[in-house]
Copies of this chain bind each other. A is one copy, B any other.
Amino acid sequence: MNLGAVIGLILGLGILGGAAAIGSANTGGMSSLWDGISLAIVVGGAIAATCIAYPLEDVISAFAGFPKVFGTQGFTLKDVVQDYVGLAELARKGELAKALDEKPDHMPFRLGGIKDTCRMISDGMSKDDIRTIKENMEQYRALREIKAANAIAKLGEYAPSFGMIGTLFGLIFMLAGMAMPPAPGVDPTAALISNMAIALITTLYGALFAFFFFLPFSEHLKYINEDKKVESALHLEGAMLLYDKVHPIMVQERLNAFLARKDRFVDDA
Protein backbone atom coordinates (compact mmCIF):
# COMPACT_ATOMS: atom_id res chain seq x y z
CA MET A 1 0.00 0.00 0.00
CA ASN A 2 1.25 3.46 -0.86
CA LEU A 3 1.41 4.91 2.65
CA GLY A 4 2.13 8.44 1.39
CA ALA A 5 -1.13 8.79 -0.52
CA VAL A 6 -3.15 7.47 2.44
CA ILE A 7 -1.41 9.84 4.86
CA GLY A 8 -1.81 12.74 2.44
CA LEU A 9 -5.51 12.11 1.93
CA ILE A 10 -6.26 11.71 5.65
CA LEU A 11 -4.04 14.64 6.66
CA GLY A 12 -5.57 16.93 4.06
CA LEU A 13 -9.16 15.98 4.83
CA GLY A 14 -8.46 16.33 8.56
CA ILE A 15 -6.94 19.79 8.27
CA LEU A 16 -9.57 21.12 5.88
CA GLY A 17 -12.41 19.53 7.85
CA GLY A 18 -11.07 20.83 11.14
CA ALA A 19 -10.51 24.32 9.79
CA ALA A 20 -14.04 24.33 8.36
CA ALA A 21 -15.54 23.12 11.65
CA ILE A 22 -13.71 25.74 13.71
CA GLY A 23 -14.27 28.54 11.22
CA SER A 24 -17.98 27.88 10.80
CA ALA A 25 -18.71 27.46 14.52
CA ASN A 26 -20.21 30.93 14.90
CA THR A 27 -21.82 31.18 11.50
CA GLY A 28 -24.46 28.50 11.30
CA GLY A 29 -22.23 25.45 10.81
CA MET A 30 -20.52 23.74 7.92
CA SER A 31 -23.72 23.49 5.90
CA SER A 32 -22.76 26.85 4.38
CA LEU A 33 -19.98 24.99 2.55
CA TRP A 34 -22.37 22.64 0.76
CA ASP A 35 -24.05 23.53 -2.52
CA GLY A 36 -25.15 20.76 -4.85
CA ILE A 37 -25.46 22.88 -7.97
CA SER A 38 -21.92 24.20 -7.51
CA LEU A 39 -20.66 20.64 -7.24
CA ALA A 40 -22.49 19.67 -10.43
CA ILE A 41 -21.06 22.63 -12.33
CA VAL A 42 -17.46 22.03 -11.22
CA VAL A 43 -17.23 18.24 -11.41
CA GLY A 44 -19.80 17.71 -14.16
CA GLY A 45 -18.45 20.54 -16.27
CA ALA A 46 -14.87 19.33 -15.92
CA ILE A 47 -15.87 15.77 -16.86
CA ALA A 48 -17.93 17.04 -19.81
CA ALA A 49 -15.07 19.12 -21.22
CA THR A 50 -12.61 16.26 -20.68
CA CYS A 51 -14.95 13.86 -22.53
CA ILE A 52 -14.77 16.20 -25.53
CA ALA A 53 -10.99 16.54 -25.29
CA TYR A 54 -10.20 12.83 -24.80
CA PRO A 55 -11.80 9.59 -26.07
CA LEU A 56 -14.28 8.07 -23.65
CA GLU A 57 -12.06 5.06 -22.96
CA ASP A 58 -9.26 7.35 -21.77
CA VAL A 59 -11.61 9.18 -19.41
CA ILE A 60 -12.84 5.85 -18.05
CA SER A 61 -9.31 4.53 -17.62
CA ALA A 62 -8.49 7.82 -15.90
CA PHE A 63 -11.14 7.17 -13.27
CA ALA A 64 -10.05 3.53 -13.11
CA GLY A 65 -6.56 4.85 -12.43
CA PHE A 66 -7.43 6.65 -9.19
CA PRO A 67 -7.16 3.53 -6.96
CA LYS A 68 -3.74 2.80 -8.51
CA VAL A 69 -2.37 5.74 -6.55
CA PHE A 70 -2.89 3.78 -3.34
CA GLY A 71 -1.14 0.64 -4.55
CA THR A 72 2.53 -0.27 -4.94
CA GLN A 73 4.10 -2.53 -7.52
CA GLY A 74 5.47 -5.05 -5.05
CA PHE A 75 9.07 -5.22 -6.22
CA THR A 76 12.11 -2.98 -6.40
CA LEU A 77 14.58 -2.28 -9.18
CA LYS A 78 17.12 -4.20 -7.08
CA ASP A 79 14.96 -7.32 -7.49
CA VAL A 80 15.08 -6.83 -11.24
CA VAL A 81 18.87 -6.56 -11.21
CA GLN A 82 19.16 -9.61 -8.96
CA ASP A 83 17.04 -11.70 -11.31
CA TYR A 84 19.09 -10.73 -14.36
CA VAL A 85 22.32 -11.53 -12.51
CA GLY A 86 20.86 -14.89 -11.53
CA LEU A 87 19.87 -15.62 -15.13
CA ALA A 88 23.29 -14.68 -16.52
CA GLU A 89 24.72 -18.13 -15.66
CA LEU A 90 21.77 -19.81 -17.35
CA ALA A 91 22.24 -17.59 -20.40
CA ARG A 92 25.88 -18.64 -20.71
CA LYS A 93 24.80 -22.30 -20.81
CA GLY A 94 22.14 -21.45 -23.42
CA GLU A 95 19.37 -22.67 -21.12
CA LEU A 96 17.29 -19.52 -20.78
CA ALA A 97 14.19 -21.43 -21.87
CA LYS A 98 14.15 -23.02 -18.40
CA ALA A 99 13.54 -19.60 -16.85
CA LEU A 100 10.12 -19.39 -18.49
CA ASP A 101 8.67 -22.00 -16.13
CA GLU A 102 10.60 -21.11 -12.98
CA LYS A 103 10.35 -18.21 -10.60
CA PRO A 104 13.33 -16.51 -8.96
CA ASP A 105 14.21 -17.37 -5.34
CA HIS A 106 13.90 -13.79 -4.08
CA MET A 107 10.59 -12.87 -5.75
CA PRO A 108 7.15 -14.49 -5.70
CA PHE A 109 6.94 -14.21 -9.50
CA ARG A 110 9.08 -13.48 -12.55
CA LEU A 111 8.38 -10.17 -14.26
CA GLY A 112 6.78 -10.20 -17.72
CA GLY A 113 9.63 -8.11 -19.10
CA ILE A 114 12.21 -10.69 -17.99
CA LYS A 115 10.15 -13.60 -19.35
CA ASP A 116 9.87 -11.79 -22.68
CA THR A 117 13.65 -11.44 -22.74
CA CYS A 118 14.20 -15.14 -22.04
CA ARG A 119 11.64 -16.25 -24.61
CA MET A 120 12.98 -14.01 -27.36
CA ILE A 121 16.56 -15.19 -26.80
CA SER A 122 15.53 -18.88 -26.61
CA ASP A 123 13.50 -18.48 -29.79
CA GLY A 124 16.69 -17.48 -31.55
CA MET A 125 15.70 -13.93 -32.46
CA SER A 126 18.50 -11.65 -33.61
CA LYS A 127 19.94 -9.08 -31.21
CA ASP A 128 18.68 -6.23 -33.41
CA ASP A 129 15.15 -7.63 -33.49
CA ILE A 130 15.11 -7.97 -29.71
CA ARG A 131 16.39 -4.43 -29.26
CA THR A 132 13.86 -2.98 -31.73
CA ILE A 133 10.95 -4.88 -30.21
CA LYS A 134 11.90 -3.88 -26.64
CA GLU A 135 12.42 -0.24 -27.60
CA ASN A 136 9.12 -0.04 -29.47
CA MET A 137 7.23 -1.77 -26.67
CA GLU A 138 8.55 0.74 -24.15
CA GLN A 139 8.08 3.83 -26.34
CA TYR A 140 4.45 3.07 -27.12
CA ARG A 141 3.69 1.76 -23.61
CA ALA A 142 4.83 5.11 -22.17
CA LEU A 143 2.70 7.00 -24.71
CA ARG A 144 -0.38 4.88 -23.92
CA GLU A 145 -0.10 4.88 -20.15
CA ILE A 146 0.48 8.62 -19.86
CA LYS A 147 -2.95 9.19 -21.43
CA ALA A 148 -4.88 8.42 -18.24
CA ALA A 149 -2.62 10.77 -16.27
CA ASN A 150 -3.14 13.44 -18.92
CA ALA A 151 -6.93 13.06 -18.77
CA ILE A 152 -6.86 13.52 -14.98
CA ALA A 153 -4.59 16.54 -15.36
CA LYS A 154 -7.13 17.95 -17.81
CA LEU A 155 -9.86 17.45 -15.19
CA GLY A 156 -7.67 19.40 -12.79
CA GLU A 157 -7.22 22.14 -15.39
CA TYR A 158 -10.93 22.43 -16.21
CA ALA A 159 -12.21 22.22 -12.60
CA PRO A 160 -11.10 25.75 -11.58
CA SER A 161 -12.29 27.08 -14.95
CA PHE A 162 -15.77 25.72 -14.37
CA GLY A 163 -15.48 27.00 -10.80
CA MET A 164 -15.02 30.46 -12.28
CA ILE A 165 -17.89 29.93 -14.75
CA GLY A 166 -20.19 28.94 -11.87
CA THR A 167 -19.13 31.97 -9.85
CA LEU A 168 -19.88 34.23 -12.83
CA PHE A 169 -23.30 32.58 -13.16
CA GLY A 170 -23.94 33.31 -9.49
CA LEU A 171 -22.72 36.91 -9.64
CA ILE A 172 -24.74 37.72 -12.75
CA PHE A 173 -27.97 36.32 -11.31
CA MET A 174 -27.33 38.06 -7.99
CA LEU A 175 -26.72 41.42 -9.61
CA ALA A 176 -29.64 40.97 -12.01
CA GLY A 177 -31.86 40.13 -9.04
CA MET A 178 -30.70 43.17 -7.12
CA ALA A 179 -31.78 45.46 -9.92
CA MET A 180 -35.31 44.24 -9.28
CA PRO A 181 -37.27 45.84 -6.42
CA PRO A 182 -36.73 43.76 -3.25
CA ALA A 183 -39.55 41.56 -2.05
CA PRO A 184 -41.27 43.07 1.00
CA GLY A 185 -39.72 42.04 4.31
CA VAL A 186 -36.42 40.89 2.79
CA ASP A 187 -33.21 42.67 3.72
CA PRO A 188 -31.54 43.21 0.32
CA THR A 189 -28.03 43.52 1.78
CA ALA A 190 -28.32 40.22 3.64
CA ALA A 191 -29.52 38.54 0.44
CA LEU A 192 -26.61 39.98 -1.50
CA ILE A 193 -24.07 38.79 1.03
CA SER A 194 -25.59 35.34 1.30
CA ASN A 195 -25.65 34.98 -2.50
CA MET A 196 -21.99 36.08 -2.66
CA ALA A 197 -21.10 33.23 -0.32
CA ILE A 198 -22.85 30.75 -2.62
CA ALA A 199 -21.12 32.19 -5.67
CA LEU A 200 -17.72 31.78 -3.99
CA ILE A 201 -18.45 28.13 -3.17
CA THR A 202 -18.11 27.19 -6.83
CA THR A 203 -14.66 28.77 -6.94
CA LEU A 204 -13.77 26.90 -3.74
CA TYR A 205 -14.92 23.56 -5.17
CA GLY A 206 -12.93 24.17 -8.34
CA ALA A 207 -9.75 24.86 -6.34
CA LEU A 208 -10.30 21.96 -3.93
CA PHE A 209 -10.93 19.38 -6.65
CA ALA A 210 -8.00 20.64 -8.71
CA PHE A 211 -5.30 21.12 -6.08
CA PHE A 212 -6.21 18.45 -3.56
CA PHE A 213 -7.54 15.78 -5.89
CA PHE A 214 -7.10 15.82 -9.67
CA LEU A 215 -3.65 17.40 -9.96
CA PRO A 216 -1.84 15.38 -7.25
CA PHE A 217 -3.37 12.14 -8.52
CA SER A 218 -2.32 12.99 -12.07
CA GLU A 219 1.19 13.83 -10.85
CA HIS A 220 1.42 10.48 -9.15
CA LEU A 221 0.46 8.55 -12.27
CA LYS A 222 3.03 10.51 -14.26
CA TYR A 223 5.60 9.68 -11.59
CA ILE A 224 4.83 5.97 -11.90
CA ASN A 225 5.16 6.21 -15.67
CA GLU A 226 8.62 7.78 -15.31
CA ASP A 227 9.65 5.02 -12.91
CA LYS A 228 8.58 2.37 -15.41
CA LYS A 229 10.93 3.95 -17.94
CA VAL A 230 13.84 3.16 -15.63
CA GLU A 231 12.58 -0.42 -15.24
CA SER A 232 12.29 -0.75 -19.03
CA ALA A 233 15.82 0.56 -19.50
CA LEU A 234 16.98 -2.17 -17.12
CA HIS A 235 15.10 -4.80 -19.16
CA LEU A 236 16.66 -3.59 -22.41
CA GLU A 237 20.17 -3.51 -20.96
CA GLY A 238 19.61 -6.88 -19.26
CA ALA A 239 18.36 -8.46 -22.48
CA MET A 240 21.40 -7.24 -24.43
CA LEU A 241 23.76 -8.58 -21.72
CA LEU A 242 22.03 -11.99 -21.55
CA TYR A 243 22.09 -12.21 -25.34
CA ASP A 244 25.84 -11.59 -25.32
CA LYS A 245 26.30 -14.24 -22.60
CA VAL A 246 28.15 -11.69 -20.46
CA HIS A 247 29.65 -12.90 -17.17
CA PRO A 248 27.31 -12.46 -14.13
CA ILE A 249 29.81 -10.17 -12.38
CA MET A 250 29.77 -7.76 -15.31
CA VAL A 251 25.95 -8.03 -15.60
CA GLN A 252 25.78 -6.97 -11.96
CA GLU A 253 28.19 -4.07 -12.54
CA ARG A 254 26.39 -2.86 -15.67
CA LEU A 255 22.89 -3.04 -14.20
CA ASN A 256 23.84 -1.59 -10.80
CA ALA A 257 24.86 1.58 -12.66
CA PHE A 258 21.13 2.34 -12.97
CA LEU A 259 20.60 2.33 -9.20
CA ALA A 260 21.56 4.57 -6.30
CA ARG A 261 24.55 3.24 -4.36
CA LYS A 262 22.40 2.24 -1.39
CA ASP A 263 19.94 0.30 -3.56
CA ARG A 264 22.47 -1.75 -5.52
CA PHE A 265 22.40 -5.53 -5.58
CA VAL A 266 25.51 -7.05 -4.03
CA ASP A 267 25.96 -10.76 -4.52
CA ASP A 268 27.19 -12.09 -1.20
CA ALA A 269 27.50 -15.61 -2.43
Contact B211 A165, beta carbon cutoff 8 Å = yes
Given contacts A19-B40, A40-B15, A136-B258, contact A176 B51 (CB under 8 A): no
Contact A132 B19, beta carbon cutoff 8 Å = no
Segment at the interface with B among A80-88, A90-98, A198-206: A198-206
Name, among A49, A134, A137, the residue most crowded by chain B CB atoms within 10 Å (CB to CB): A49
List residues of chain B with CB within 8 A of the CB of A201: 172
Interface of A is mostly: helix
Contact B200 A172, beta carbon cutoff 8 Å = yes
- CA A160 – CA B3 in complex, angstroms? 25
- CA A23 – CA B223 in complex, angstroms? 41
Select one of B20, B26, B125, B170 contacting A177, CB under 8 A: B26
Q: What is the minimal beta-carbon distance from A7 to any residue of chain B, in angstroms?
A: 5
Select one of B5, B49, B144, B164 contacting A216, CB under 8 A: B49
Q: In this assembly, does A4 line the interface, its C-beta being within 8 Å of a C-beta of chain B?
A: yes
Q: What is the minimal beta-carbon distance from A84 to any residue of chain B, in angstroms?
A: 14
Q: In this assembly, does A37 line the interface, its C-beta being within 8 Å of a C-beta of chain B?
A: yes
Q: In this assembly, does A175 line the interface, its C-beta being within 8 Å of a C-beta of chain B?
A: yes
**Which residue of B has the minimal Cβ distance to A59?**
B4
Q: In this assembly, does A197 line the interface, its C-beta being within 8 Å of a C-beta of chain B?
A: yes
- CA A200 – CA B173 in complex, angstroms? 11
Given contacts A45-B212, A173-B27, A194-B179, contact A52 B220 (CB under 8 A): yes
Name, among A2, A4, A133, the residue most crowded by chain B CB atoms within 10 Å (CB to CB): A4
Given contacts A7-B51, A172-B33, A253-B133, contact A211 B162 (CB under 8 A): yes
- CA A147 – CA B246 in complex, angstroms? 33
Given contacts A27-B180, A45-B15, contact A207 B4 (CB under 8 A): no
List residues of chain B with CB within 8 A of the CB of A132: 254, 257
Q: What is the minimal beta-carbon distance from A2 to any residue of chain B, in angstroms?
A: 7
Q: In this assembly, does A99 line the interface, its C-beta being within 8 Å of a C-beta of chain B?
A: no
Q: In this assembly, does A107 line the interface, its C-beta being within 8 Å of a C-beta of chain B?
A: no
Q: In this assembly, does A56 line the interface, its C-beta being within 8 Å of a C-beta of chain B?
A: yes
List residues of chain B with CB within 8 A of the CB of A168: 200, 203-204, 207
29 A-B pairs with CB atoms under 8 Å apart are A2-B55, A2-B56, A4-B52, A7-B48, A7-B56, A9-B48, A16-B41, A19-B169, A23-B170, A24-B176, A27-B173, A27-B174, A45-B212, A50-B216, A53-B216, A53-B217, A129-B253, A132-B254, A136-B258, A140-B233, A140-B257, A140-B258, A141-B260, A165-B204, A165-B208, A168-B207, A172-B197, A172-B201, A175-B193
